[in-house]
Structure 1
């Protein structure tokens, strides 16, 4: 059990405050609000608009909607400063994948009317996308989750759903997952159109976790990978290196209780570094790698880090009308697609209140239903010649779960979940049993020191000493993007003017 919190509290607080204040500013500042409305109406100058207003704010975007007299609607969407660390890159990648899916896939995706950079946006709000509004009743997540969830609580699968209904809902999700897996490229990265207007992997794979560890893990943006990859092993090694860089940069000092002894803290840090060095070892070792990388040279399918039931919209008949929020989508190792979805229970394993073992027990029940739904989708697609036998996922997903490959993929993609996963689900499979009692795995790392590569012990001690020295340094080394920095400054200026106006009004 770690004695440090996974997120940096100060970075979390700043991000959360921006996340709350910025949409409120856009809704209440008359000049900005009107500028958005005029901008959107001019885009559809041939239509008569009936209403305009704020729609909602999600995890990464805030949205405004305009309704037209012909019963159609349009949305303009801006990335949230403080939540999105690479806004221009995020928008570019998302537009590309949506346009690609509209051209090449049966997956229903909103049409894009226009998108642009900050300099083109109303009131310089930031990069934007204007898309058609998809009429819907609710999301697939609403249909799957347990009723009665309070605001701020994460959803969880309703245990009382009838099996036939659950399989039917899973079946629609399985169809989307299956469709994505059939779209592939020869490199790992984000899509764009080349000089010949052909789709190609042109940019690095900007992932959910890359954004998160800059936002909440205080990793400098310059430390992130910048390459595309022509094989899976090189990408997995880049992810393993990123885990190490993240731990080195993570500012834990403000998250540690004052009475934690230095030697206890030092061992906690060592345990984390040992886990990350060993994870990189099983990526680098060709023999160990053969146990879980089966398609090193691709082809590499489309993968969306943020795909989940909440982003799948359905109508009154509970039929999918659109899949939205395609940020952090890129081509990825085949093994990602061969791993069953984490979201079958709606809640992540590291967030499960009853612990990882209980999550696994409940997940396995849901997985059997999902795999049966997937198998039926595969049968239908094969009969209709939309799928060949070699593209089936159900058997591969079953193997991924049973072999433990699922956990390698999950740990590779989720930096903040790594410590909850590695020692319990990965270590003993590759490096053999260890002598510890019950769940007391805190000292297992000592039994693995002999496995470290030359120089890693010295490097680990160097990092430990640095982090111990930094323990009482409370300066936040946050590296937000220019977009976020600019909006922090603008919001301060706006707030200052508002306060000055109130003072003048009170004195008159």
Structure 2
């Protein structure tokens, strides 16, 4: 993994703590705001707080009708401040689109707005339906005495129960894979015509992470276009991966051979686009949710029916091949992190993942057997298997993951007989200058951290 920037992380933590204090103090105004927005005539009452990876929420109940809703705000420090409004708008558009075009259980949006419309100017917000159910991630994970332990799929889980859950998720993924768009980016609905279109560049999970925590220049993304071809999108991603390496000042924390290995990996990644990044190059492109995983889903523990899919903030129309991948979360572990921890951890991950891969593909085959499909459309189950067998799964994952791209490249995409030979002479000639530049940046980072009194606490 990329060495952390503790200054950026501390800045983010300070911003989060300040917002949380203000949010808690504003609780009465927030409840009153929800009451007014929904016309509840002062029947609204506070139920509880929720804190997620990117959002802070309050559940509010109508004391007369017992109706419940959630009002949710993106947290500064978790979401790059200038993108909080964009994040909210994009999620509202995706939820609205899914409710119109799929049977996927997503919450109804009652109201949303930007900072200037919010109580005490707390920030952009969404008021949405309160969805019932238990967290699916908690249902699937192995029980441990320590809640802080990393989640992993329970090896003793009832196989019939898991198969049923996989079939439901396969059905959702099949629906998503059939939503077609001519361009790559964020969707919106024209207020007059009611037509849906890709109108803005994408806002992704990885973009938020590198800008918030790695020193990546946010202005680079303001000039990002809407893409017509997958290959152009991947070329832009390859450039972003190289910019990330240049602008993260902690890279030289590692030994020089590791630092140079990152440089080689990111430049070689660009060379792999003709091999891995040309599936349905000209479209149609598909809606893809980068954060669609069990911890963002709810399930009825009695019937094992999935009752809600949540958190679509970083959902965009993306290269179609993303929608043809297996779910990365099949054993509840992040593959990028697992393979970055060494050969033993990598093999252990694969040993656990492979059987679940087969189980999920078989679940998809059963769903497809019950579903009609457009004439000439390949089976999604076959596409998933091909993506895994060809290594495209790992190329796609690397393209979305600036932190772990280097390890993914060296573990799964590197060809032993090529290596640095894939790079041109001019690129290779810059080795010493690159290493020196990263060393200078790292020393400046250490000096800044040493002078920061917050780290004396």
Same fold (TM over 0.5): yes
Counterpart contact for 1:166–1:369, Cα < 8 Å:
no
Within 2, Cα distance between the matches of 1:175 and 1:147? 28
Q: Tell me what 1:272 maps to.
A: 262
Within 1, Cα distance between the matches of 2:240 and 2:149? 30
- Structure 1 window deviating more from structure 2 (118-127 vs 307-316): it is 307-316
Answering whether residue 116 of structure 2 is matched by residue 145 of structure 1, we say no
Q: Tell me what 1:506 maps to.
A: none
Q: Tell me what 2:455 maps to.
A: none
Within 2, Cα distance between the matches of 1:477 and 1:140? 43
Structure-2 change in CA distance of 1:104 and 1:270 (3 Å): same
Structure-2 change in CA distance of 1:476 and 1:184 (3 Å): farther
Q: Tell me what 1:323 maps to.
A: 309
Tell me which of 345, 360, 381 is aligned to 1:370: 360
Q: Tell me what 1:474 maps to.
A: 445
Tell me which of 117, 120, 141 is aligned to 1:120: 117
Answering whether residue 383 of structure 2 is matched by residue 396 of structure 1, we say yes
Where in structure 1 are there 5+ consecutive unaligned residues?
284-288, 435-446, 479-508
- Structure 1 window deviating more from structure 2 (348-357 vs 32-41): it is 348-357
Q: Tell me what 2:127 maps to.
A: 130
Counterpart contact for 1:350–1:356, Cα < 8 Å:
no
CA drift of 1:471 comes to 2.3
Answering whether residue 241 of structure 2 is matched by residue 243 of structure 1, we say yes
CA drift of 1:390 comes to 1.4
Answering whether residue 411 of structure 2 is matched by residue 424 of structure 1, we say yes
Q: Tell me what 1:349 maps to.
A: 335
What TM-score, normalized by structure 1, do the two folds share? Answer: 0.82
Within 1, Cα distance between the matches of 2:228 and 2:153? 38
What TM-score, normalized by structure 2, do the two folds share? Answer: 0.90
Structure-2 change in CA distance of 1:156 and 1:416 (3 Å): same
Structure-2 change in CA distance of 1:175 and 1:35 (3 Å): same
CA drift of 1:48 comes to 5.8
Larger radius of gyration: 1
Structure-2 change in CA distance of 1:475 and 1:290 (3 Å): closer
Tell me which of 261, 270, 289 is aligned to 1:304: 289
Q: Tell me what 2:299 maps to.
A: 314
Within 2, Cα distance between the matches of 1:109 and 1:123? 28
Q: Tell me what 2:19 maps to.
A: 22
Tell me which of 220, 226, 229 is aligned to 1:228: 226
Tell me which of 73, 76, 91 is aligned to 1:78: 73
Within 2, Cα distance between the matches of 1:214 and 1:452? 28
Where in structure 2 are there 5+ consecutive unaligned residues?
450-457
- Structure 1 window deviating more from structure 2 (12-21 vs 212-221): it is 12-21
CA drift of 1:230 comes to 0.4
- Structure 1 window deviating more from structure 2 (335-344 vs 190-199): it is 190-199
Q: Tell me what 2:454 maps to.
A: none
Q: How does 1:176-215 map to 2 (within 5 A)?
A: 176-194=172-190, 196-215=193-212
Within 1, Cα distance between the matches of 2:67 and 2:448? 46
Q: How does 1:432-451 map to 2 (within 5 A)?
A: 433-434=416-417, 448-451=419-422
Counterpart contact for 1:49–1:66, Cα < 8 Å:
no
Structure-2 change in CA distance of 1:230 and 1:477 (3 Å): farther
CA drift of 1:404 comes to 1.0
Answering whether residue 56 of structure 2 is matched by residue 66 of structure 1, we say no
CA drift of 1:280 comes to 0.8
Count of matched residue positions in the alignment of Structure 1 and Structure 2: 440
CA drift of 1:411 comes to 0.6
Within 1, Cα distance between the matches of 2:323 and 2:179? 11
CA drift of 1:58 comes to 0.3
Residues 259-282 of structure 1: per-residue CA shift (max 9 Å, x gap): x7xxx43x3322111111111122
Within 1, Cα distance between the matches of 2:337 and 2:23? 32
Counterpart contact for 2:13–2:77, Cα < 8 Å:
yes
CA drift of 1:134 comes to 1.4
Structure-2 change in CA distance of 1:426 and 1:476 (3 Å): farther
Q: Report SS of the residue matched to 2:371.
A: helix
Q: Tell me what 1:51 maps to.
A: 45
